Structure 1
Amino acid sequence: MPQNKQQRASFEDLLNSTTRSAVHLEMRDDYGIAGEAEEFEQWKRTGEVDLDPGSEGWSRWTSLVQSAVARGVVMRRARIISEPVSEYIKYEHATTAVNVAVGEQVRWLPRRRASDIALPGNDFWLFDDRLVRFNHFTGDGDGAGFEYTEDQAIIKLCANAFEAVWERAIPHEEYKV
């Protein structure tokens, strides 16, 4: 069972204290994050997305990533996705160019190729193989909080799951939606 240590630590604080690696595994086909709703709707109407890493919508994230990468932190993100992909995944794929431009490595794994991988039940971030932050979501994809653990068995499960997904996943530049 995850512990709630560092419950009050912000994501920024966690990433700023990371020295080697930050990995993120995403496993949902749809996220209903309120902060993305307007841009997602605009993309559905126009097919256009904000790809400027310095724009107001991106600058907080891109500054954080660029700072971590400049310190030598390797940031990797893997996404397990159903095919055909959802509208949200198409949108997410379109915006991923910004993540890559600022130093994140991103890969995509079709869900059918993940059937034999032992996966935790929730999306997560793993910082320096020392702390897991699970991201909880409601059924409609809205954020429902976080849970933290330093339990070594859970860290090992998450690290092994991420590496198994990463090995099979397709680099962003090669994955077409």
Structure 2
Amino acid sequence: MSPSSELNFNDLLEASTRSAVHLEMRDVYGVGDESEDFERWQRTGERDADPGSAYWAPWVDLISRAAARGVQVRRARIVSEPVTDYIRYEHAGTDVNVHAGEQVRWLPRRQAVDLLVPGCDLWIFDGERVLFNHFTGAGDWSPPGLELRTDPAVVKQCVDAFEAVWARANPHRDYKIR
């Protein structure tokens, strides 16, 4: 998450008691801290997929603790096909997300044309709080970075959108990159 944001993603996840769901809809994200691993993957096709590595360990620890508390962590990705190099890179590391305790599904964009989804990626915590993620066109963080909304009508729209995507999406183990 954006280090400049006053909102703290970790605190929101740690406060969750039932669910944390993530809807991703971009085909490219800025690589930031991942740049070395992404460049190596582009050269060699090998991705850091060690849950204990310096890159993954904090995420694996955070998600594992949430799952151990009974929080259901789900991630749905809407992707264009053929996928971008960045999505291929994400796919190559997703087994670590699953290892940590996330359920991950993929939905080709062409299968989402009749779904109404929010304009930004987001996290929903316990069906009560939505954390919108703001990015530039190139996939870098854009001010304000994160925006927390608790308006019940907005939360319901986002929950409904996520559940519609989730119902249609393919489990990670079944999704083959095109």
Q: What is the aligned counterpart of 1:21 among 19, 43, 51? A: 19
Structure 1 residue 8 displacement after superposition: 2.8
Structure 2 stretches of 5 or more lacking a match?
Answer: none
Sequence identity percentage: 60
Q: Which segments of structure 1 move beyond 3 Å, counting only runs of 4 or more?
A: none
| TM-score, structure 2 normalization | 0.94
Please give the alpha-carbon distance, in whole angstroms, between the structure 1 residues aligned to 2:147 and 2:7: 11
Structure 1 stretches of 5 or more lacking a match?
Answer: 1-6
Q: Deviations over 1:29-82 (max 9, x none)?
A: 010131112211110001111111111111111000000000000000000000
Q: CA RMSD in A?
A: 0.9
Please give the alpha-carbon distance, in whole angstroms, between the structure 2 residues aligned to 1:23 and 1:149: 15
Q: 2:131 is paired with a residue of what secondary structure?
A: strand
| TM-score, structure 1 normalization | 0.95
| Residue type at the aligned position of 2:44 | T
Per the alignment, residue 60 of structure 2 pairs with: 62
Please give the alpha-carbon distance, in whole angstroms, between the structure 2 residues aligned to 1:93 and 1:40: 12
Question: Would the aligned equivalents of 2:134 and 2:146 in 1 still touch at CA under 8 Å?
Answer: yes
Question: Would the aligned equivalents of 2:7 and 2:146 in 1 still touch at CA under 8 Å?
Answer: no
| Residue type at the aligned position of 1:159 | V
Mapping for residues 76-155 of structure 1, pairs under 5 Å: 76-144=74-142, 145-155=145-155
Q: 1:45 is paired with a residue of what secondary structure?
A: helix
Please give the alpha-carbon distance, in whole angstroms, between the structure 1 residues aligned to 2:35 and 2:168: 31
Q: 1:173 is paired with a residue of what secondary structure?
A: helix
Per the alignment, residue 168 of structure 2 pairs with: 168
Q: Does 1:53 align with 2:51?
A: yes
Please give the alpha-carbon distance, in whole angstroms, between the structure 1 residues aligned to 2:164 and 2:102: 18
Total equivalences in the alignment: 171
